Amino acid sequence: MKRVILSILATLGILVLLPVSMARAAGGQSIIAGNIYYKGTTNPVTGASVSVVCDGNTLTSPTTSAGAYEVTFDPTACPAGDTATVTATKGSATGTNSGVVNPLATEPTVINLAIVNVSVVPEFGAITGIAAIALGAGAFLVIRRQHTASHKD
């Protein structure tokens, strides 16, 4: 009877400890993955340069044709519970997002982000608006001056 009880306890112990040891055997790596989209759309950004910083360590990856990226840190370089910051750049478009590293080695930490086109040239809409206001004010003054001059005579 003791053998049966010991066998059952040993089996239960193995069943409880096996998943934990398998997770450690899988490397316990910190996987950071996600998708990069253009802001305000669901259009993926293909060929963007993605940089992931975790605990002072940096890994880079390009995005796939579906806008996906993935980097794998050694668990000492990016421990569970730390914050990973993802920055994506393509041309003048850029974006940043961050998230907490997943403690489960079998589940990647998913950090999606949207990038927006950052223009170096000032907004042409603002320049056009200012020019329109200036021209409108100038035309108003010219017409008013002509109207005032015609009433003096």
Tally of domains in the chain: 2
Any idea what the CATH number is for the domain that residue 86 is in?
2.60.40.10
User: Comparing 63 with 119, which gets the higher pLDDT?
Assistant: 63
pLDDT digits (tens, 9 = 90+) for 12-29: 444 444 343 333 334 578
Tokens of 152: 């003096």
Same domain, 97 and 80: yes
- CA-CA distance, 121 to 9, in Å (whole number)? 71
pLDDT band at 62 (very low <50, low <70, confident <90, very high): very high
Gap between the Cα atoms of 23 and 15, Å rounded: 13
Q: Give, as one character, the DSSP assignment of residue 113.
A: E
What range does the domain containing 48 cover?
28-117
- Integer Cα distance of 22 and 29 in angstroms: 12
For the segment 100-129, the average pLDDT, to the nearest whole number, is: 67
Cα–Cα distance measured from residue 63 to residue 59, given in angstroms and rounded to the nearest whole number: 13
127 and 79 within one domain: no
Same domain flag for 68 and 99: yes
Q: Domain check: are 47 and 59 in the same one?
A: yes
C-alpha triplet 53, 57, 60: angle, nearest 5°: 60
Verify that 139 and 82 share a domain, yes or no.
no
